[in-house]
Chain A
Amino acid sequence: MNKITLHGIYDDDQQLKEGAIKIVGMGIHVKEVFSPFPVHGIDPIIGVKRTRLAICAFIYGLTGMSLATWMMWYMMVTDWPTEIGGKPNFSYLLNVPAFIPITFESTVLCAAHGMAITFFLRSWLMPGVKAKNPDPRTTDNKFLMLLEINQGDQSKVEAALRETGASEIHVC
């Protein structure tokens, strides 16, 4: 059976949500939704899984913390013990308050950068990458629902889109 790609374009996010509920209710998978701003509550309707970015952030944070600890332990205690302000740096533990700000900064640095880079890689947003946006108007005022359906379902899907207030339907 032939697959066709359908763009349902809405003017209003509430109508878009209703449309998505209807389409999903018909057993048809909504491949993607493009919108000028985050639409609250659309994720569970079209079956977007919870992001795992938070887990990544935690791992990056742990990495940053370990790196900072290791770095300061090596530099300040093992390799070249330095006495600063009367604090004898022969023990990491006894001087730990002095190391905490740097540990904290490194944790935040690694978590934030790691998270941003992971996000850009995962969604493939990079300089020179061609935008995957099917219709530039979705960066302004239109909401676009991207569907991949069997040719046989076309008429009933189009009817459902029109019924819930889609202003345009394009078949590509």
Chain B
Amino acid sequence: MNQTFTFTDKAKRLCYLLMGIGFIGLIWGYVRDSNVPADMAGHYNHNRFWANMLVNSFFFMGISLAGTFFLALQYAAEAGWATTVKRVMEAVTCYLPVGLGLMVLMLVLGEFKAHNLYEWMNSDLFTKGTLDKPNPLFDEKVAHNHSYFKLPFFFARTLGYVLVWGAFQRLFRRRSLEVDLNGDANHIVHFKNVKSAAIFLVFFGFTSSTMSWDWLMSLDVRWASTMFGWYTFSGMWISSLITITLLTVWLKKNGYLEEVQESTIHDLGKWMFAVSFLWSYLYFMQFMLIWYTNVPEEVSYFYDRIHEFGYRWTVWPAFFVNFAFPMIMLMSRDAKRNYGFLVIVGCCIFLFHWLDVFNMVMPATVHAHWRLGITEVTLFLGFLGLFLYVVLNNLAKAPLMVKNHPFLEESKHLHI
């Protein structure tokens, strides 16, 4: 039985190729994005390129972050079903330090005025000026939230998320490997992880919301939605589940993970199905309440997207595909056990959840000047290559099957 994953040269070459495409995309995207559209003069500094960087930094960071959440959930719930795919989950979480690093880099670059994505990083927004010389950029609504966006507080929060999440991810991984190597009498180390997982979940429960306000919702700085945090979180979660499922199926096809039962795949399919619904529910509820109350300052978010800036053909497909496709395709039991269905649905909604992040970022940053062109595709592929490289590299570092885990036997005989 093949217990160790080998990161073959062929797979490595593919990752390098994708990263190479991404690198060309970096240069191409930056150079080609030199024109400043007339209606965005003063707000535009290679925005399309930087917004794409933000979309991809966030999307792939979100996958590993929600992967860490999902892993912690298995620990805290003392769930046995997923023990055989635990190493796959861990490998997905191992991108977290890289992803968080890129996110922080994006924010720091914004603070140093390398890009103009975050309007509130421009301090002119907050100064009123005098009666004789009023500041034309001053925005009372934004200034009202000034204390929340003050530089030390903002970066203290950001660093807090990054350090704590990163530390928990390293902790889970280190203890898991330790259990493998040294054994675990009375499962003491395992239960340490259970305790850490519970603490992480509480911390994550609050910070996943505040993070989405800080890093994404603040792009539309005049708009706020209390559902945004959950909506972002569920989007990350479903992307993460798709990644875990696709990796598991791919490994199984290549002769690894023989102990993963068909029932485990079925369970992963159920998660994909269920969390797709969670995402659709949150998306729709955010939309419906805003649409119904029809308050101008709230409705602007959807008005910009659907009418003003012409995102109609990315907003509606992102919602309907991510909702209807898994619903119709994964409803039956047989479909959830069919690798073909899982892969087709998985790949499709993976792309459309990327498009969902695109819909969050782009309208606020490039307004109507969006395209799904070479910049978007190459940067996505580049980040995908980086993500896969880090994940597969970490997958190869440890045996694919955990040892000395209290629920391993149960998971090997999972039957539903």
Alpha-carbon separation in the docked complex, A96 to B174 (Å): 51
What 0/1 pattern do residues 49 to 64 of A give for CB contact below 8 A with B? 0000010001000000
Inter-chain CA distance A108–B287, complex, in Å, is: 22
Contact B332 A54 (CB under 8 A): yes
A41 and B293 in contact, given A54-B332, A100-B288 (Cβ under 8 angstroms): no
Alpha-carbon gap, A157 to B174, bound state (A): 56
Asked if A97 is at the interface (CB within 8 A of a chain B CB), the reply is yes
Within 8 A of B (CB), among A74-112: 85-87, 97-98, 100-101
Number of interface residues of A (CB under 8 A): 11
Do the beta carbons of A40 and B415 come within 8 Å of each other? yes
Q: In the complex, A41 Cα to B293 Cα: how many Å?
A: 52
- Distance (whole angstroms) from the CB of A20 to the closest CB of chain B: 16
Return the CB mask of B319-335 against A: 1 if under 8 Å, else 0.
00000000000011100
Chain B residue numbers with a CB within 8 Å of A85 are 292-294
Please report whether the interface of chain B is mostly helix, strand, loop or mixed according to DSSP: helix
Task: Out of A40, A41, A98, name the residue touching B288 (CB < 8 Å).
Answer: A98
Does B291 sit within 8 A of A, measured CB to CB?
yes
Total residues of chain B contacting the partner, CB 8 A? 12
Q: Which residues of B contact A100 (CB under 8 A)?
A: 284, 288
User: Which residues in window 157-193 of B have CB below 8 A to A?
Assistant: none
CB distance from A57 to the nearest CB of B (A): 10
User: A98 contacts which of B292, B331, B333, B416 (Cβ < 8 Å)?
Assistant: B292
Beta-carbon contact of B332 and A97 below 8 Å: no
Does B415 lie within 8 Å of A41, measured CB to CB? yes
Please determine whether B291 and A86 come into contact, CB atoms closer than 8 angstroms.
no
A54 cross-chain contacts in B, Cβ below 8 A: 332-333
Known contacts A40-B415, A54-B332: A97-B294 contact under CB 8 Å:
no
> Can you report 10 A-B residue pairs in the complex whose CB atoms are below 8 A from each other?
A41-B415, A85-B292, A85-B293, A85-B294, A86-B294, A97-B284, A97-B287, A97-B288, A98-B292, A101-B288
- Give residues in A with beta carbon < 8 Å to B: 40-41, 54, 58, 85-87, 97-98, 100-101
Q: What is the interface of chain B, defined by CB distance below 8 A to chain A?
A: 284, 287-288, 291-294, 331-333, 415-416
